[in-house]
Chain A
């Protein structure tokens, strides 16, 4: 077993999650930064598949990402390590600080912190969106990328179709139509 890899897993997921204010989705770009860019455990395409399937399955998204990436890097133990790094610190913080937080909830310092993190998260998301789009254009061309993205946008936001079905539809399209282009 590679201890260094396990420690890297722990630190990577710890950093991504203690900075991800605003719930699981907020930490996605931070996890991407650690997993794809810093440690190169997966490629942008692999990572977006993890997100797609993660969004299609029930349950919180960031723990599913942690479970899979951890497993991919170092098996079951890696999976457990990545999960612990993702959830334990924030739960302990909530239990320990609940009383303290209750006192300072109205404080402007606490409000300012959770507010000022939002623009950074938003920009990280924009950057990640762009990277994936760029990656996809290199892979299947801009026309296919554009068409799939447009249909997905229409289905999820105009028609309010559950992401799981959109992902499924993309799989079907990709499996049976794309190979012939």
Chain B
């Protein structure tokens, strides 16, 4: 089991890999079950891959399994990360390394810009273009112009989110009624 979990890894698209290991290689659960858990994990906050690993480990071996699965999942990459950045930091006085560090910043800006686009796309798909733009502007205003803490902005949006579909349904019903008259 431990070796199987150790086989995990591989960037943000790690979920298909976990699926392959858990469903095909080890037969721990069915494809449908996996899909179900994935959808549910998605509705909770926090990193997806560790949630999946934690839950699968728990299902198979209880608390011990959850701990082993998660540790196996994150330990190698965490150690690699610390080692790598410490190495970069060690040489950071050199001009070459300073150039390297500076040159990566625009690349990261592009990566984040692309992620921003993906999230915006998802939001527009779910909310429709008009609602989407209204909420973008609202979020930007709160965050940048009024300088509200992101946690509070998210809380506000979640608060409204619990009622969003009720409003949409009511609005649609209202519209249908008008057209019927």
Contact = CB atoms under 8 A, between A and B. Distances in A.
A4 interface: no
Contacts of A79: 78, 82
A122 B116 contact: yes
21 contacts: A18-B46, A26-B45, A28-B112, A60-B48, A63-B78, A67-B82, A116-B157, A118-B120, A118-B123, A119-B136, A124-B150, A125-B116, A129-B116, A139-B105, A149-B107, A152-B106, A156-B111, A170-B104, A171-B100, A171-B103, A175-B103
Contact of B11 (A58, A68, A175, A178): A58
A115 B123 contact: yes
A132 interface: yes
B115 A28 contact: yes
A146 B113 CA distance: 14
A115 B126 contact: yes
A116 to B, nearest CB: 3
Nearest to B57: A91
- Tell me the dominant secondary structure on chain B's binding face: helix
B34 interface: no
B173 interface: no
Contacts, number: 352
B166 A51 contact: no
A8 to B, nearest CB: 15
B50 A95 contact: no
A110 B43 contact: yes
Given A51-B108, A59-B14, A61-B12, A115 B164 contact: yes
